[in-house]
Structure 1
Amino acid sequence: MHDFAIRPIQPEDDTAMAAVIRAVMPEFGATGSGFAINDPEVDWMSRAYAQPRHAYFVLERGGHVLGGAGVAPLAGGDAGTCELRKMYFLPEARGLGAGAAMMARCLDAARDLGFARCYLETLTGMDAAMRLYERSGFKRICGPQGATGHGGCDVFYSLEL
């Protein structure tokens, strides 16, 4: 039994989730244009993911939001492909099995939303994240797909759902 909960994001989680993203991104050198840290969606995640075929979940422990992840249609991609988006956890949430639990929740949501594939982009150096992706069945692919606007990402994965 885990001592954390994964639940759909609520409007009252927006400030905490924005703080998580803005704390974690610089830890991996993900600053400047082309990264989520500058994405205006970060400040209103609950509204952004309330759209059709979107889902975002937060990781909560002891009443505090410690991370999150979501899925949404891949911008510029085909209708059967979603993107795993904005998966970030504060250091105190790491090593608890939360990443695997969050990944399972997001992939279940993607299937429920009718997607056939899940795509993601990440950065060299995010080694623990890449191990999680590969354990979850994602395969590394040669280059980017869609039009995500994540110009700083340099590692790409895809998973057949």
Structure 2
Amino acid sequence: MSITIREIQPHDNAAMAVIIKTSLEEFGLNIPGTAYFDESTNHLYDAFQIKGSKYYVAIENNEVIGGVGIYPSNGLPADTVELVKMYLAPASRGKGLGKTLMQKCITLAGELGYHHIYLESMPELAAAVTAYEKLGFKLLDKPVGDTGHYSCSIWMLYQIKP
């Protein structure tokens, strides 16, 4: 079985919305101030049509099994992009796919001229936070920008190597 990573297509919207929402439900995070209630969660393809953004999906056996994107969220410095909506189906976790997806976003962010990648998370997603730290993301004391995810209490920043 091989996994293909490609840019999101309109027909991927429903599958990614299910992965995001069921993942948040799994951790009891289907609460306001999270991606669960973002309008864009149901329309990822459309949301990622703006300049400086891109969303990747991972496909196995013609089925969407996860995704992640970068997005120039409101209020971020011009040289910073946000790593957003990083979710994998439960059976696809713990196999290095998340790392592969994040590295693809880091490479793209550098190619697009960004110097930093910002992300927000929650203590309930400890495995993800550990993965971010292993990639080189550093904890911040407060949020950056205006993402609308006021329920997030973990903020991290990655410095892209020049």
Task: Quickly name the TM-score band, shorter chain normalised.
Answer: over 0.9
Q: Displaced runs of 4+ in structure 1, greater than 4 A?
A: none
Q: Secondary structure at the match of 2:123?
A: coil
What is the RMSD computed on CA atoms of the aligned residues? 1.1
1:38 corresponding residue in structure 2? 37
Q: Deviations over 1:96-120 (max 9, x none)?
A: 2101100101111111221110000
Could you tell me the percent identity over the aligned residues? 36
8 A Cα contact 1:74 1:119, kept in partner: no
Query: Could you tell me which residue of structure 2 aligns to residue 72 of structure 1?
Result: 71
User: Deviations along 1:52-110, whole A, 9 cap, x unmatched?
Assistant: 00010001111110111000113111111100000011111112210110010111111
- In the alignment, which residue of structure 2 is the partner of 1:125? 124
Which runs of 5 or more residues in structure 1 are unaligned?
none
Q: Which residue of 2 aligns with 1:91?
A: 90
| TM-score when normalising by structure 1 | 0.95
Q: What's 1:147 paired with?
A: 146
TM-score, with normalisation over the residues of structure 2?
0.95
Gaps of 5+ in 2: none
Distance 2:97 2:42 in 1: 23
How far does residue 33 in structure 1 lie from its aligned partner after superposition? 1.2
**Paired residue for 1:82?**
81
Please report how far the alpha carbon of residue 32 of structure 1 lies from its aligned counterpart in structure 2 after TM superposition. Answer: 2.1
